[in-house]
Structure 1
Amino acid sequence: MWKRKIQLSGFLISSLGWVFVLCTMAMDYWRVSQVGGTGGSFIIKVAWFWSNLWKDCFTDSSGISNCRDFPVLWSVTAYVQGVRGLLMCGLGLGFFGILFCFLGMECTYLGGEDQMKDKLLLAGSVFHFVGGLADIAGYCLYINRIAKTNFSGNQPRGTLIYDLGEPVFLGLVASFFILLGAILYAVTVYRILFPKSPENGNGTQTYMAARSRGQTLYNGTYRPSRLYSRQYGSYKGSGRSSSYQLSTISKTSIEKMSERDAFV
């Protein structure tokens, strides 16, 4: 029961993480910069410059936005193209991870035998983990670019200083959700796929001795076969036990005594 609960928790957490990552790719305000907003007149003039992975926009104080879509694929800024590629690779790996984990979960009736389901679940957890690392790398690349621009001392005068927006932080939290779900998956199948060998009190491994013709290597006692005969009321084997012989002798003596009393 605990195994199913952990697997369901991993499925919900990892799936929620992938949904958040997918949402961040379509969200605005990956980076935002504000110009103006200070006093000096009865009308406060302010403007916002913001960007995401697909366009660069300008919004004035009246709420009107003017956007410029990024050019074709091979003309996009290198770091933006890298972030896109890492996030898309992560989403692709996450799709296969969700599929394998769904087939390998104990509560589903797909995927074959228990051993095969455990292997599918372990493979799915690996896909989730690698996809989550790819997403973290993409978000960290974007953060590094913004931080490099902000803290560089040789920027020309008038360069906009951008701050990180909500999608970046949401994506990082989602990536850690994915990694947590992958760990929960792996915990439930690690002991089944890689069992530990039994050990005795001295810390050394023990081995089970093979039985040969009803005799063990430990005590050397004879064990008859398990075929039961109703005709004789005993076990059939190559030999008779001492208890059987005693019961036969007592039965014979009782019959002889009854015959002698009848003759008298």
Structure 2
Amino acid sequence: MGHMATEIVAFLLSVSGWILVSSTLPMDHWKVSSVDGTVITTATFWSNLWKTCVTDSTGVSNCKEFPSMLALDAYIQLCRGLMIASVCLGFLGCSLALVGMKCTRIGGSEPTKARLTALAGLHFVLCGLCCITACSIYAHRITTDFFDPLFIAQKFELGGALFIGWAGSVLCVLGGLVFCLSLSEGFTVRTEYTYGRRASFATARPVDSRVLHAETQRAQRDSTRRFERNAYV
């Protein structure tokens, strides 16, 4: 029961993290910059992995999508690839976890379900690492440009999408590690059960009647010899 509860906790952590990671990919505010003036001229500039936009004080947004994937900066292309890989790995992890958990009736025997659980944990850990790497690369570029005194273009700050991505990554990594921990506990329990079953089998093993008869005759001969040796004393 404890092993099943551990798997359920790991599944909830991993799925929650994967949902946050998946919502980070299309989210708007990866980086934000505000221009404050009068109420009429106040505007907010923001960008994500797919487009750059400006929103005025009335809430009207004017967006421009990136024209060409090959013309993008290398860090945006890298972040796109890592985030897409993270979402795919998380989906595979969820599928393997549903099949391999002990509370489900699919997946085959216990060793097979244990292997599927281990693969699910590995996929969730890789999902979290890919997302946290993408968010960190994007954040590093923002902070580098912001603190560079020679950078004369518009400077941006960290957007809310990056923090959501980091939180989802941590949950995915924690869930994957808990899956691996539950796998080691399951192997320990199975090993102890197998050892106890073998010991009980050895204790309850029936004794061969011919072996028992031979041992009885040998004991009788030994007692007779001792009696004959002590008769003349």
Partner of 2:97: 101
Partners of 2:51 and 2:204 in 1: CA distance: 83
Q: Kindly indicate whether the alpha-carbon contact (under 8 Å) linking 1:225 and 1:237 is maintained by their aligned counterparts in 2.
A: no
Alignment match of 2:182 (pick from 178, 184, 188): 188
Does 2:150 correspond to 1:154?
Answer: yes
Q: 2:53 touches 2:63 (CA, 8 Å); kept in 1?
A: yes
Native 8 Å contact 2:10 2:175 kept in 1: yes
For the residues of structure 1 that align with 2:65 and 2:183, how far apart are their CA atoms?
47
Q: Whose RCO is larger (CA < 8 A, sep 6+)?
A: 2
Distance 1:11 1:239 in 2: 57
TM superposition shift of 1:20:
0.8
Q: Which has the larger radius of gyration?
A: 1
* Count of residue correspondences: 207
Amino acid of the structure 2 residue aligned with 1:226 = P
Q: Please give the per-residue CA displacement for 1:37-92, whole angstroms capped at 9, x wherever unaligned.
A: 36xxxx55311111111111111122221110111221222211111100111111
Given residue 25 of structure 1, which amino acid in structure 2 is its aligned partner?
L
> How much has 1:31 moved relative to structure 2?
0.8
Verify: 1:236 aligned to 2:216, yes or no: no
For residue 61 of structure 1, what is the aligned residue in structure 2?
57
Residue 249 of structure 1: aligned partner = none
Task: State yes or no: 1:169 paired with 2:163.
Answer: yes
Structure 2 contact 31–47 (Cα < 8 Å) conserved: yes
Aligned residue among 104, 109, 112 for 2:108: 112
Q: What residue is the counterpart of 2:27 in the other structure? A: 27
Residue type matched to 1:105 in 2?
M
Q: Distance in 1 between matches of 2:172 and 2:48?
A: 23
**Runs of 5+ in structure 1 lacking a partner?**
199-215, 217-222, 228-234, 247-264
Deviation at 1:102, TM superposition (A): 1.4
Show the counterpart of 2:13. Answer: 13
Contact 1:56 1:67 in 2 (8 A): yes
Report which of the two has the higher share of helix. 2
Q: What is the correspondence of 1:72-87 to structure 2 with a 5 Å cutoff? A: 72-87=68-83
Query: Which ranges of structure 2 fall in alignment gaps of 5 or more residues?
Result: 193-201, 221-233
Which residue of 169, 174, 178 corresponds with 2:172? 178
CA RMSD after TM alignment: 2.7
Does the 8 Å CA contact 1:224/1:238 hold for their aligned counterparts?
no
TM-score, normalised relative to structure 2: 0.80
> Is the CA contact (8 Å cut-off) linking 2:3 and 2:186 kept in structure 1?
no
Q: CA separation in 1, counterparts of 2:84 and 2:12? A: 21
Q: TM-score under structure 1 normalisation? A: 0.71
Note if contact 1:226-1:236 (Cα within 8 Å) is conserved in structure 2: no
| 8 Å Cα contact 2:3/2:185 also seen in 1 | no
The C-alpha deviation readout for 1:119-149, integer Å capped at 9, x for no partner, is 1111111111112111110000100010010
Q: Contact (CA 8 Å) 1:31, 1:52: kept in 2 or not?
A: yes
Q: Which residue of 2 aligns with 1:260?
A: none
Indicate which of 114, 125, 128 corresponds to 1:129: 125
Change (3 A) 1:130 1:237: same
User: Is the partner of 1:73 in helix, strand or coil?
Assistant: coil
CA drift at 1:224: 11
